[in-house]
Structure 1
Amino acid sequence: MAEEYSIAIALVDFIPTFLFPLGVFFFQEFFKTQGYTRSRLLWIGGGFFVFLGGLFKAIWKLNMALTETSIAFLTDSLFVVQSIGFTCLFIGTLFFIRQEREKLISKPTIPLTAMALWKVPFMAIQTLTCLGTNGLLVYYAFQNKNKKSAYLLIGNVIIIFLMAGLGSTDLSMAIQWVAELTNTLGQICFSLAGYLFMKDVKK
């Protein structure tokens, strides 16, 4: 059975798509203030690719709602483009954590611990780097007693798992609305965490 989307759901899908770069903006400002240029550039570049993938998917969904025809490139490119983006975010965050640990080397710290087959590795990279990025940021937030940011990012991780579960179910209209609202909530958590990171370092 072909996937069906309403115009309202398709339009709502643009909300989390544009919330994500807001979160990226706050985090790159945080890195800028800290003087971590390499991490900042990786987050800007990675954020662009993640946003681009989400935008392609939102446009594909809107086109489906309006014309009931699928533009394969828009939906198939999601995993490829976002796997590149989340990999950049993960590497940028890894550089940041490593530099922070080097600064604190003399202080005690907690140790850092039904689709086409070609999409599978990209989806795996997309998921693992997304979770890894959030995990590293949670680690840093707890290390620096920024508990609100940590809990918001943990909430975002929980929502990522919820979205994965919703994506494996039948995409009825009700499930689509739940998925869109859940995704929006996740991006709000991500954006607020980025804002708190930026606000904390600018005190």
Structure 2
Amino acid sequence: MHPGSATLVARSIDVCEEYTVALALEDFVPVMLAGVALMITAQATGRRVPRVFPIALIGAIVVTTGGLAKATWKILVASGCHEYPILEQLLFPCLAFGFSALVWALLSAKRGSELTGWPFAVFPVAAAIGALWMGHMWPLLIAAAVSATALGVTAAVIAFKAGRRVIGALFVVYVLGTNILPSLAARPEQSVQIQWAEQLTNTAVQLCFLLGALWLRKYFPTTADRESVYETTGETA
């Protein structure tokens, strides 16, 4: 899923005529790919710094919940014009808070120790306050996009520093997709063909992230792995 999965502009067509059932069903595919990738990313951070795992896991679950809520809203609209705005509106708050937690966890894992968490919590909270004050989701959209981008950039830096250029490129694709797809999805009117192209592209982007996350899990050693190395080399932690 990407931060621009929901449309922020008024459209001149009836939302109930905008999505086909097949298109709405396909929207679950990138959501599930992203959900699995984020769970694996949370697990990877916990291998390196166990204390961050619970928050990282919660972040992954929150992001996935937001994506599933939006996909459910879309299928309900497509299958019978059953409109439940709360399902669509959950997306940006979930992405903003969930991605912020994951960025904190991944940066902690990169450092090898737990970072101070409050700056990462303040950002989405401030965005939520701004959204309530403005009566618009734009602040939360920005927070979600920034946090998702930071997650992808951090992962890419880790991969490139490890000499894994292909893995780094996968995360770069994720970052580009995170920032380009929202602007495409926000255009006022789109044909079904264009929407299919956007969703399939999003699916490919999330698959890239999943492949990268699988590498991250292998890259970060567990405490047992590190102790094994110390015992073999005679070094001390």
Q: TM-score range by the shorter chain?
A: 0.7 to 0.9
Residue of 93, 112, 128 corresponding to 1:99: 112
5 Å matches for 1:154-165? 154-165=172-183
Determine whether 1:54 maps to 2:73: no
Structure 1 residues 124-203: aligned runs within 5 Å: 124-169=142-187, 170-201=189-220
One of 37, 46, 57 as aligned partner of 1:32: 46
Deviation (angstroms), 1:117: 4.5
Say if 2:19 is the partner of 1:5.
yes
Is residue 119 from structure 1 mapped to residue 137 from structure 2 by the alignment?
Answer: yes
2:63–2:95 contact (8 Å) kept in structure 1: yes
State the superposition RMSD in angstroms: 2.2
Aligned-partner residue type, residue 172 of structure 1:
S
Q: Alignment length, in residue pairs?
A: 189
C-alpha separation in 2, matches of 1:27 and 1:190: 10
Cα distance in structure 2, aligned partners of 1:152 and 1:70:
36
Write the distance in 2 (CA, Å) between the matches of 1:194 and 1:62.
Answer: 28
Percent identity reads 25
Give the C-alpha shift of residue 201 in structure 1: 4.5
Report if aligned partners of 1:28, 1:43 keep a CA contact under 8 Å in 2. yes
Quote the offset at 1:28 in angstroms.
2.8
Q: Distance in 1 between matches of 2:139 and 2:162?
A: 34
Q: Please, which runs of 5 or more residues in structure 2 have no aligned partner?
A: 1-12, 116-133, 226-237
Provide, for residues 57-108 of structure 1, a one-character-per-residue CA deviation record: whole Å limited to 9, x for no partner.
00000001011232110011111111111111111122223337x9xxxxxx
| TM-score, normalised via structure 2 length | 0.73
| Cα pair 1:148 1:193 within 8 Å, conserved | no
Q: Which residue of 1 aligns with 2:54?
A: 41
Deviations 1:8-54 (A, max 9, x none): 001100111111122123323322333x1233223211111110000
Structure 1 stretches of at least 4 aligned residues deviating more than 6 Å after TM superposition: none
- Highest Rg: 1 or 2? 2
Structure 1 residues 179 and 139 mapped into 2: Cα distance closer, same or farther (>3 Å)? same
Instruction: Quote how far apart the aligned CAs of 1:178 are.
Output: 1.1
Structure 1 residues not aligned, in runs of 5+: 103-115
TM-score if structure 1 supplies the norm length? 0.85
- Residue deviations 1:148-180, cap 9 Å, x none? 221100011111123112112223211210121
* Change over 3 Å in CA distance of 1:77–1:28 after alignment to 2: closer
